[in-house]
Amino acid sequence: MTTPRSCLILHGWQNHRPEGHWQHWLADRLTALGHQVTYPGLPDPDDPDLDVWLGELARHLEGLEDTGERVVVAHSASALLWLHAAARGMRQLERADRVLLVAPPSGSVLARHPEVTAFTPPPLDFALPGPARLVAGDDDPYCPEGAATLFAGPLGIPADILPGAAHLDVDAGYGPWPAVLDWCLDRTVPLTTRPAP
């Protein structure tokens, strides 16, 4: 029998964890398979405070079980939250065995939105504390420069770039997303499979 994992799922800006979102679907599927899942509603998702979210990240990482693999899946602004935590040397990041950074937005886009300008990516002159993977659309309107160029390359992490996947959200058709579930269960699985229409 597979050892249960501890999974932390982190949403992005303006995400109130709608039932139709792939993260909600993922939390339900992982729970049904017997894994411990934490899918918190982060404070003030429409007008987030970076320092408050960093505190929440540290708290939820500390709450992960000490047995089994610990997996983090961070979408959009929470992918940038992870990068800010790494840039600041947050020790709790070491509690994660691996992290998936999904559709991180670029600073050029965040600069147009005062609510999230504090989340503008830090200089990527640090090493992430553990294994990480990036997945993003090749046409993400929140990252026109391209996530592979802007994030995966400087961080030295593998990336799955999905054609026509936009911001990997409900509007892009990402409700049930079996590939992300497969990756949570097996780190070697690529995330190149789109959801069925």
| pLDDT (tens digit per residue) in 79-106 | 999 999 999 999 999 999 999 999 999 9
**Cα(first)–Cα(last) distance of the chain, in Å?**
33
What is the average pLDDT across 6-25? Answer: 94
Q: Could you tell me which residue, 194 or 139, shows the higher pLDDT?
A: 139
DSSP-derived pairing of the beta strands 70-75 and 98-102: parallel
Structure confidence at residue 18 as a pLDDT band (50, 70, 90): confident
3-class secondary-structure state, position 118 = helix
**In a 10 Å sphere around its CB, with 0-12 CB exposed, 13-18 middle and 19+ buried, how is residue 110 labelled?**
buried
In this prediction, residue 119 carries a pLDDT of 98
Can you give the pTM of this predicted structure?
0.96
In this prediction, residue 2 carries a pLDDT of 66
Structure confidence at residue 67 as a pLDDT band (50, 70, 90): confident
In this prediction, residue 91 carries a pLDDT of 97
Half-sphere exposure of 136 (CA within 13 A, CB side): 27
What tens digit of pLDDT does each residue of 159-192 get? Answer: 999 999 999 999 999 999 999 999 999 999 989 8
pLDDT at 11 exceeding the cut of 60: yes
pLDDT at 78 exceeding the cut of 60: yes
Structure confidence at residue 196 as a pLDDT band (50, 70, 90): low
Closest by Cα among 195, 133, 137 to 159: 133
- Do residues 133 and 100 lie in contact, with contact meaning Cβ atoms separated by under 8 Å? yes
In this prediction, residue 1 carries a pLDDT of 46
Q: Indicate the average pLDDT of the chain.
A: 95
In this prediction, residue 3 carries a pLDDT of 75
Closest by Cα among 139, 197, 169 to 79: 169
- Do residues 96 and 69 lie in contact, with contact meaning Cβ atoms separated by under 8 Å? no
- Do residues 165 and 142 lie in contact, with contact meaning Cβ atoms separated by under 8 Å? no
pLDDT at 59 exceeding the cut of 90: yes
In this prediction, residue 164 carries a pLDDT of 94
Half-sphere exposure of 63 (CA within 13 A, CB side): 15
Quick one: CA dihedral 30, 34, 38, 41, positive or negative?
A: positive
In this prediction, residue 124 carries a pLDDT of 97
- Do residues 38 and 129 lie in contact, with contact meaning Cβ atoms separated by under 8 Å? no
